[in-house]
Chains A and B, each alone.
Chain A
Amino acid sequence: MDFIVDCGLDTSALLKFPPRNTIGDDDDGADIDHRTTIDLDIFGPQNPEDDNGSRKRRKLDAFAEAGRFLVQTPDFSSVDWKAVDFILISSYRHMLALPFVTEYTEFMGKIYATEPTIEFGRQLMNELVYYFGESSSTDAASRHAPSHSNIGKLLQDESTFDLTLSRTLYTTADVQSCIDKIQPIRYCEHLSLYDSLRITAYSSGYCLGSANWAIDCGQEKIAIISSSSTIKTIHPAPFDKTVFENASVILFSDLRTETYLSYEEALDKIEECVVRTINNDGNVLFPCTSNGIILDLVEDLDRILSAKGLGGHVRMFVISPMAEESLKYSNILGEWMCKSNQDKLYTAENPTTHKLLMSKQRLFHVARVDSSLSQIYKQPCIVFAGHVSLRSGAAVEFLKKWGKNTANMIIFTDSDVDYKEAFSPFEGLKINQEIIPLDIRLSVQEVESILRQYHPKTVLVPSDVNEIDGNTLLSHQRLVVYEYSVVHNVTINSQYERTSLSESLAKLIRPKVVGNSLVGSLNGNLMTHNNRFLLAKGKIGVNYQRFLWGDARVDKILDRFAEVGIDEACVIKEDMLDAIIITLDSPKATITLTPNSSNIDVEDSSIRKFIADIVVNQFTQM
């Protein structure tokens, strides 16, 4: 059984490229089709051999202009895709490399994800294609085998990003085809796959539809914990701890690696920055996607702005080709939300606040910076726009529009993005920068408290978490720190498979008492239905099995022979072998008895049955 959990895309490679320019230098912000090349020199990544960190200048405009951006997938080279049985997706954040698998490898297995994960995943993939896809896509080879592409060759000397993992992006057709292959599931839906392997998704509390997976195989359970959050004030359904119950192996990933501000502290700081900026007639830009924690941020900012009396005249804009779909779709996911949002369903109210803010003309969504925006655009305002890498999309346009003014502010909230690298092409711009990660993931302390409460035999944590306190573990527990591409073997002794025994077969069993146990020989048929086993009555014939135990007494065997008129038995005791050998002359037969095994040797098969019966009767049989 081979399976893969999550299939994320590393978009940090995008940072090596200059921003895709989609706006003229004039600030009208209305000309989407007018693409001029700005001659932005960008800084390449640090050269490892270059100790003083001097940066190499490189021009990649040509590729960007041709729509050539590269992204990095996980290292697929060691994966035998034909052998992979299934892929489990934990959230829409961790599936963006999936089209490379479904469309460009021999993967034939199944993919499971919750309904919201699939839909948001589709939106994010399409958004990515919109931002970074090729305008004229012909080079399928570079998605399939990236290192052979022309771009790969051109960049080989200078680039430090791993070209064997870099590819040009997939197309919208790839996205649709990939999404169609995913099977939707819901929280707590048990899926029986192959024999008695059972997988279940439990809410991870991180975003709408985010899941942790429990894999039950017979008596053992593996809990796979991906992006999770226990913060109670955010909109997704709360973290479901059922996933840990009876788990013998827990694998943690995507934990909080740095200790910066807590979620509440970060929110406070963002509020303060936003209010200060607005009071100074500035505008605020959040480079972000139009889903996830942003929904809570929007709600929170509206609350604080209203409290400060600024609510009425500050507009919020979510700008992305997927903004409308994303916001409207979130609103029909009440069942996937926390209890207070869920309760609104029962009074036919919108479960999300953003729907209300949209109707109150506080929040707006537009697909892109064009005339539809200019109709509603009003400063001061707060803009939520992508792409987080600041290499494409409305975020770039607003950065250029607002960058020269010190009253404006850009706030980076995504803990995954290297904001320095992201901002590097814009160095020299006067806009205020704030880095306030809104990191809601599990912290090391929370992991430790989970381990104290549940008692898995083995715990796996990623190597970037180095501070886990070994003292939290009990003596029989094992902590494994896993690293990139290092194979870890975790033994799970799944010794049993749960089946059910039909009543009709059970009635045929004649159990015997041995000590405090009952034992019996079972001869039946093993049937499979819906990947579940049933032991049922059936035609057994030659498949019947018998067992013997107990001690044979030689004198009793001889008595029986005498009774039927065979009294010329010769009995030899072989002490060396701990054996007693009974030899008969007529009929000709040799019976060798040892404590644990016996042999009957006959010349003529017709008398075998007769002798066998006498010997077998000495034992307990089943």
Chain B
Amino acid sequence: MMKIVPLGAGQDVGRSCIIVTMGDDSTGTKNIMFDCGMHMGYNDKRRFPDFSYISKTGGNFTEMLDCIIVSHFHLDHCGALPYFTEMCGYDGPIYMTYPTKAICPILLEDYRRITVERKGETDFFTAQMIKDCMKKVTAVNLHQTVKVNGDDDFEIKAYYAGHVLGAAMFSVRVGQQTVVYTGDYNMTPDRHLGAAWIDKVRPDVLITESTYATTIRDSKRSRERDFLKKVHDCVNSGGKVLIPVFALGRAQELCILIETYWERNNLTVPVYFSAGMTERANEYYKLFINWTNEKIKSTFVHRNMFDFKHIQAWNRAYLDKEGAAVLFASPGMLHVGTSLEVFKKWAPDPKNMVIMPGYCVAGTVGAKVLAGEKKIHVDAFTVIDVKLQVRNLSFSAHADAKGIMQLIKQCEPRNVVLVHGEKSKMEFLQEKIKREFPEVDGCFFPANGTTISIDTSLNIPVDVSVGLLKKYLAEKNSQTRANISLWSLNKVKPYNSVPISGMLVMQPNKPVRLLTPTEGASQIGLQLHELTFDVWKTIDDQVFWKKWGSRVSGLGRELRYAALKVVEDALMKRFGDDLLITREKTRIVVRTFVVAIVSDTANKLKITWNYRDEELANALMAIVDDVLP
């Protein structure tokens, strides 16, 4: 049984925070928090996940939670972390990748400054709290398997997610149960990052984002051309282009795009980047080249892609400057900061253009712009007249419907839980998943605060003796080889399943073991009783030749040999693909089942077996009785 409850990002985008409860009697129950984000659309207490769900009294979070895993540095995934650790008092382990640990405090600090200094809020985390919080974080590398609290039965492993620098998907194993949480991911490589990739984890539950659940976007290349053409057209006619972006991540990709286009076309129109934060951002990218894509990695010695020649720092004095320009400014949703300030200034001129390359949370100025509103109320006193051209370019690096399906195929989950998307889109995607993956047991999209329980198959660890394993694997191999020549080659195919039988032994304080009967008996001091059968099959000479004499050639004259041949052919026809059937001169051997010619009888075959193979013997005897009347 596994329980999942989203405290944020349930049928919504923003303040991602999903609590998973897993484990069984042998491992103990573990509570894991995936992401601890904030919501851009709210300025009240709704901006943080409702942590009271975990502890009604608001205390002892450290006892209630075993660890927090943060998927990437976007604020809707990590924005509530300092609040939770420093103000709510959670003191347990926190995991994130190296780049996330490096970059997320910068975004947190920027967010804090805007909230506290511009909006004048007081009850908020401080710069020192961010620092203290980050000290508690354990940085992990991709694919590195980390034992939480040194527990052999509680492991986490990060996989490349592509979305932004350092973004990771995490698989968590508690005993025999596994869950994969994707965070945000991107299944197609872009200009600076590679594509998300995961092992065939076969988790009990895959928790995936579904931002673009209904979109299948056109090719990346044509979207890039489209973007560049729009920018070029606008600046050609003397307009100003505002591109609101997160300073880290998408910004770097777009800068690479503009940089190369400007170089190729010898453009001189100035390109600006707002805030000193971005220069630092590029420094981080330079130190984490190993987390970008192969192309950037292989060329970085001679040309570091993040040294931009055409892009200069923005200065507020340029606000009133005449002429064409391109400006990248944060934040991406136009809710505060430079991008909003510039937008107010440039919005009334129809020559200008705003390109919204990302997703905008409902309620933000960005969302209103995208909705086509012509008069936007920023606050009680300010109304913006929107006359500039508005373009929406989906550059945000989320997986589209195709990508989500691809990931499901890659990791083969037993259940899928959708988060980080809109409800209607999730409904659509749920149908699609059910249709295309009938082997997926369930697909859910719980709302915030709603717990879903998923039955997980309770697998029990069992140690199989090497002797038993060899016996069955070797049998399978030799059987394949032995029967090839006799029967058609096209039936030979790789197998991933072999039948196995053995004695399961459970002893106190020892792992459960599966042994050969002999091993098992000797380990528990048990004497097995071997029961064997001798059955004499009498063959009627006349009836036999009447039945088989004309139908089968090459039987020879001797009755018993002819009968043996008839039996062999019948057994091969029925069981040749499944069993190892060995023919010797005077007998046929299938495991303990032996049909033999014994010297002192002229018209009898002796059939023997061990009671162990009773099932086999019953099936084979039916065939023998059928062919030998």
Instruction: Name which residue of chain B comes closest to A325, CB basis.
Output: B301
Alpha-carbon distance A536/B513, docked complex (angstroms) = 15
The residues of A that contact B142 with a CB separation of less than 8 Å are 186
CB pair A519–B501 under 8 Å, yes or no, is no
Interfacial chain B residues near A503, Cβ < 8 Å: 457-460
Given A525, A547, A552, A608, which contacts B499 in the complex, CB threshold below 8 Å? A525
Cα A345 to Cα B525 in complex, Å, equals 61
B98 touches A345 (CB 8 A): yes
**Do the beta carbons of A502 and B506 come within 8 Å of each other?**
no
Q: Is the CB of A529 within 8 A of B287?
A: no
Q: Tell me whether B531 and A615 are in contact (CB under 8 A).
A: yes
Max chain A CB contacts within 10 Å: which of B467, B534, B619? B534
Bound form: Cα–Cα A503–B535 in Å: 39
CB of A346 within 8 A of CB of B102, answer yes
Nearest CB to that of B525 among chain A residues? A515
B312 at the interface (CB under 8 A from A): no
Nearest-CB residue, chain B, relative to A542:
B616
User: B residues 511-542 with Cβ under 8 Å of A?
Assistant: 511-514, 517, 520-521, 524-538
Cα separation A218 to B514 with both chains bound (whole Å) = 14
In the complex, per-residue mask of A521-539: 1 if CB is within 8 Å of any chain B CB, else 0: 1111111111001111010
Interface string of A598-622 (1 = CB under 8 A from B): 1111110100100010011001000
Contacts of B506 in A (CB 8 A): 511, 517-519
Closest to A516 in B: B508
> Which of A348, A601, A605 contacts B102, CB < 8 Å?
A348
Within 8 A of A (CB), among B6-42: none
Measured CB to CB, the closest approach of chain B to A177, in angstroms, equals 16
Q: Measured between C-beta atoms, what is the minimum distance from A197 to chain B in Å?
A: 12
Question: From residue B296, how far is it (CB to closest CB) to chain A in Å?
Answer: 11
B58-85 interface (Cβ within 8 A of A): none
Query: Binary interface profile of A, 5-30, with partner B (CB < 8 Å = 1, else 0)?
Result: 00000000000000000000000000
Is there contact, CB below 8 Å, between A547 and B612? yes
Which residues, 431 to 474 on B, are CB-close (under 8 Å) to A?
457-467, 469, 472
- Distance between Cα atoms of A104 and B27 in the complex (Å): 50
Would you call A498 an interface residue if the criterion is a C-beta within 8 Å of the partner chain's C-beta atoms?
yes
Tell me if A350 and B535 are in contact (CB < 8 A). Answer: no
Nearest CB on A from B391, distance (A): 33
Closest to B530 in A: A597
Smallest CB-CB separation from B155: which chain A residue? A190
A543 and B499 contact, Cβ closer than 8 Å, known pairs A186-B142, A188-B146, A496-B465: yes
- Residue B51 lies at the interface, judged by CB distance under 8 Å to chain A: no
* A598 vs B301: C-alpha distance when bound (angstroms): 79
Known: A186-B142, A332-B287, A599-B533. A525 touches B526 (CB 8 A): no
CB contacts under 8 Å to A, within B176-207, are 176, 199-200, 202
Q: Is A331 an interface residue (CB 8 A)?
A: yes
Chain B residue numbers with a CB within 8 Å of A428 are none
Interface SS of chain B: mixed
Which of A351, A503, A504 gathers most chain B CB within 10 Å?
A503
A535 near B287 (CB under 8 angstroms)? no
Interface centre among B466, B496, B612, B619 (most CB of A within 10 A): B466
* A525 and B529 contact, Cβ closer than 8 Å, known pairs A542-B575, A547-B517, A548-B611: no
Q: Are A328 and B300 in contact (CB under 8 A)?
A: yes
Per the bound structure, the CA–CA distance linking A7 and B102 in Å amounts to 37
Residues of B within 8 A of A595 (CB): 527
Measured between beta carbons, the chain B residues less than 8 angstroms from A544 are: 501, 614-616
A605 CB to closest chain B CB, in angstroms? 5
Closest-CB distance, A616 to chain B (whole angstroms): 7
Q: A498-B463, A534-B459, A605-B537 are in contact. Are A521 and B503 (CB under 8 A)?
A: yes
Q: A334-B98, A501-B460 are in contact. Are A542 and B301 (CB under 8 A)?
A: no
Q: Are A535 and B579 in contact (CB under 8 A)?
A: no
The CA of A514 and the CA of B525, in the complex, are separated in Å by 9
**CA of A187 to CA of B158 in the docked complex: distance in angstroms?**
13
Given A188-B146, A332-B288, A500-B460, are A523 and B501 neighbors across the interface (CB < 8 Å)? yes
1/0 per residue A354-374: CB within 8 Å of B? 000000000000000000000
Cβ contact within 8 Å between A535 and B497? no
Bound: A329/B527 CA distance, A: 66
A186 near B507 (CB under 8 angstroms)? no
Task: Say yes or no: A348 contacts B284, CB within 8 Å.
Answer: yes
- A346, A529, A605: which contacts B105 (Cβ < 8 A)? A346
Instruction: Chain B residues near A218: list those with CB within 8 A.
Output: 463, 466
Q: Which of A501, A523, A596 has the most CB of B within 10 A?
A: A501
**Residue in chain A with minimal CB distance to B624:** A605
- Complex interface residues of chain B between 470 and 522 (CB less than 8 A to chain A): 472, 496-508, 511-514, 517, 520-521
Q: Which 4 A-B pairs have the closest CB atoms?
A: A496-B463, A545-B501, A543-B499, A500-B459
Q: Beyond the given A188-B144, A324-B301, please list 15 additional residue pairs across the A-B interface where CB-CB is below 8 A.
A: A186-B143, A332-B290, A335-B139, A348-B287, A495-B467, A515-B524, A516-B507, A522-B503, A541-B615, A546-B612, A546-B614, A597-B531, A597-B532, A600-B533, A608-B533
Q: Which residues of B contact A (CB under 8 A)?
A: 98, 101-102, 105, 134, 139, 141-146, 176, 199-200, 202, 280, 283-284, 286-290, 300-301, 457-467, 469, 472, 496-508, 511-514, 517, 520-521, 524-538, 575, 578-579, 607, 611-616, 619-621, 625
A-B contact pairs, 28 of them (CB 8 A): A189-B143, A324-B301, A328-B300, A332-B287, A333-B290, A348-B284, A495-B466, A495-B467, A497-B466, A497-B469, A498-B463, A501-B459, A503-B460, A504-B457, A514-B524, A523-B499, A526-B464, A526-B500, A538-B499, A540-B499, A542-B575, A542-B619, A545-B502, A548-B611, A598-B532, A602-B533, A602-B536, A615-B531
Question: Which residues of A line the B interface, CB within 8 A?
Answer: 115, 185-190, 195, 200, 218-219, 324-325, 328-329, 331-335, 342, 345-346, 348, 350-351, 494-504, 506, 509, 511, 514-530, 533-536, 538, 540-550, 552, 595-603, 605, 608, 612, 615-616, 619
